[in-house]
Amino acid sequence: MATKGKEVHALEKKVRIMAETLCELGKINSVSRAHFARAVGIDYQVLKTAWRSGRLSAQLNEKLAASAGFDILDPTWIDDNVEPGVRSNSDTPSYPGRDSAAAFRAMLRRSHDLPGTGTFVRIANGRPQLIDSNLASFCMDDSGQGAALGDSAPLFFSLIIDRGYHSKGIEYGFRRMRLRLVFDEHSHARIKERLGEANKVEINGAHLEARGGDHHAEWFLQAPNAILEGEYSTKENPLCLLTTPEINEVFRAEIAVRPMDGTLISVNGAPLSDAQKKSIIEILCAKKLEGISDSQGWISLGSQRLRIVRADRI
């Protein structure tokens, strides 16, 4: 973090909002932040350094306010009632200040007599496809929150998993399960603030750990002693934040297991014989989900289609 300047919450997002707003007003002809910087007479590298540090010098602070047309003392720009250390926190639904990116966008649009707060979007979710709803069911949703287009939209996850029963009298379960999000290769969407990214998170006795990056993210839910059994959900904190998707963009959530790497075990945690594993895997593979290509030993237990839509269309 820079040692000089004033802390501005969600500065990078707010610079992007300024560029989008001035472009909508016809004052600049591109939403590019580099173009915005050149148009208002700010060195782009200086601006980039500022938003990466989250701090602005007094001169740059005044320059941005004058260029984008807002009052530098407006609390949606900098909420002085919030401690600087808190203002540096991520722009999530739990942020307590009046200077969230969404509040700043709304203020800037009012200042320029633009309608509403821009396009508000939701993440519409279809009914999940499941191999066996008695074995495992899951759901991904935005918990009714949504977001203004261009802001971060939260995604929440819930899973119910039970022990499996084989006709030969075997009771089994899975020690570990993978959840991942799958986007088209041309998608502009990014996956931010991944739960379990920095440290494992405990959910109902299991450990959730994130892996991957902004483009490709996956999570592993693992039981420390025996099998995953019961309900696991991220009700308090979102699984991740989805940024910069496009209207009508479609993506997919998947849950899968990898039975041959020690994940498939008896309910008391003991290993199964190879013959028992083979019988169980044959049953799971016989119910292959439509449109899902399993590989590298992974077997999909569920898939859900999600789509970015206008909030008034859901």
- Cα–Cα distance measured from residue 18 to residue 12, given in angstroms and rounded to the nearest whole number: 10
* Residue with the larger pLDDT of the pair 77 and 117: 77
- Cα–Cα distance measured from residue 140 to residue 136, given in angstroms and rounded to the nearest whole number: 14
Instruction: State residue 257's pLDDT score.
Output: 95
DSSP E strands in 23-135: the ranges are 55-56, 120-125, 129-130
Burial of 258 (0-12, 13-18, 19+ CB in 10 A): middle
Instruction: State residue 2's pLDDT score.
Output: 39
Q: Count other Cβ atoms within 10 Å, centred on residue 133.
A: 12
Instruction: State residue 1's pLDDT score.
Output: 34
Instruction: State residue 3's pLDDT score.
Output: 43
Position 57 confidence tier, pLDDT thresholds 50, 70, 90: very high
3-class secondary structure, 4: coil
Average pLDDT, the chain: 89
- Cα–Cα distance measured from residue 148 to residue 94, given in angstroms and rounded to the nearest whole number: 16
Parts of the chain belonging to CATH 2.60.40 = 122-313
Query: DSSP assignment, residue 218?
Result: E
pLDDT tops 50 at residue 147: yes
Query: Does the structural domain 122-313 have CATH classification 1.10.3430?
Result: no
Both tokens of 135, joined, read 């074995």
Give percent of the chain above pLDDT 90.
54
Residue with tokens 């309900």: 231
Q: Are the C-beta atoms of residues 118 and 147 closer than 8 Å to each other?
A: no
pLDDT digits (tens, 9 = 90+) for 222-265: 998 889 999 999 977 899 999 878 888 999 999 999 998 888 99
Q: Are the C-beta atoms of residues 118 and 110 closer than 8 Å to each other?
A: no
Position 313 confidence tier, pLDDT thresholds 50, 70, 90: low
Query: DSSP assignment, residue 126?
Result: P
* pTM of structure: 0.64
- Cα–Cα distance measured from residue 278 to residue 226, given in angstroms and rounded to the nearest whole number: 20
Among 260, 268, 23, 274, smallest CA distance to 163 is for 268
| Choice among 90-94, 240-244, 280-284 with the minimum mean pLDDT | 90-94
- Cα–Cα distance measured from residue 43 to residue 45, given in angstroms and rounded to the nearest whole number: 6
Between strands 55-56 and 6-7, the pairing is antiparallel
- Cα–Cα distance measured from residue 240 to residue 238, given in angstroms and rounded to the nearest whole number: 5
Among 257, 259, 110, smallest CA distance to 180 is for 257
Instruction: State residue 302's pLDDT score.
Output: 96
